[in-house]
Each structure stands twice: as C-alpha cells, then as structure tokens.
Amino acid sequence: MIEKEEIMDRLLIAVPSYKDRYERYIQENYELGEAKLIYVDISDFVKHVIECYQRKNTDEFDALFEVIEELHTNGDSFVKEFATVGILESLQNQLSDKKIEYSEIEKCLKPESKRWWNHVIDYWNGKTPYIGGPIKEQS
C-alpha cells in the first residue's frame, strides 16, 4: 500500500528532470523541518510536466503515468484521492489555462487513471456530485 510520504519520491523517480527544480521549490517555500503541503506543491510539479509537453520532451511520460496509475491502484485512501484531485485535476486545470486539449494527455493515461480523469470531468460538468471516493459501477 502506497502512503502519502511516498508520493513525491515516486514522482521524482519517474520524472528526474524535476528533481533540481523541486529542491529549489522546497528551499524557497519551506523552513527547515516545516510540514509540506502536497496539494499545494503538486501544482509546481504539474507545471513542470506541462512545460515538458510543450517542449516535446515527453521521454519521462510513460514512467510518470505508470506511477499515477500505481497511486490509483495501490495507494491508501489519501493517495488514491490525491492522485485524482491533486494530480489529475491539476493537470486538467493547467491544460485549460494553456489552451492544450485534454486529449493530448488522455492518451498517456492508464485505465484506472483514465476512469478518474473522466470522473473529474463529469464532476465539473455537473454529472456527479463529488470528485473523491469510490466510483459506483453503473447497473
């Protein structure tokens, strides 16, 4: 079971090009020993991912989207929700801000991540009353 403390380590292994930037980000935004706010911090990570996409530097995307899938399938309840609300929703928001079509990232998503990606879209389109939590199968 993947826990909250493992998230950034896994993302940094998948996207080593972010490591130096992340270290600078932490130095600029936190005092030594201060608790990190992962829901805030993920925004900078997602910005980096989108910048990589814009530069057509997508070599790390297979590993990244595999980690996002693992967070969805093997994470504890916090990690699963973070993978959706923290990572996927941040991606969607920042893609919209940059006028990049969702389909450009959707093709990278693995099955469970794609399911939650669509669930976030459904939420914002008023088709479901919540983002987090288990998706109930349609009967």
Instruction: Summarize pLDDT for 81-116 with one digit per residue, the tens.
Output: 999 999 999 999 999 999 899 999 999 999 999 999
Provide the pLDDT for residue 132: 60
61 and 108 Cβ atoms separated by less than 8 Å: yes
Instruction: Tell me how far apart the alpha carbons of residues 27 and 76 are, in angstroms, rounded to a whole number.
Output: 28
In which band, very low, low, confident or very high, does the pLDDT at 137 lie, cut at 50, 70 and 90?
Answer: very low
Q: How many CA atoms lie within 13 Å of 39's alpha carbon, on the beta-carbon side?
A: 8
Residue scoring higher pLDDT (22 or 128): 22
**Kind and range of the H or E element at 63?**
helix 61-74
In which band, very low, low, confident or very high, does the pLDDT at 129 lie, cut at 50, 70 and 90?
Answer: confident
pLDDT of residue 136 exceeding 60, the answer is: no
53 and 105 Cβ atoms separated by less than 8 Å: yes
pLDDT in tens, 24-77: 999 999 999 999 999 999 999 999 999 999 999 999 999 999 999 999 999 999
77 and 83 Cβ atoms separated by less than 8 Å: no
Q: How many CA atoms lie within 13 Å of 129's alpha carbon, on the beta-carbon side?
A: 1
The reported pTM is 0.90
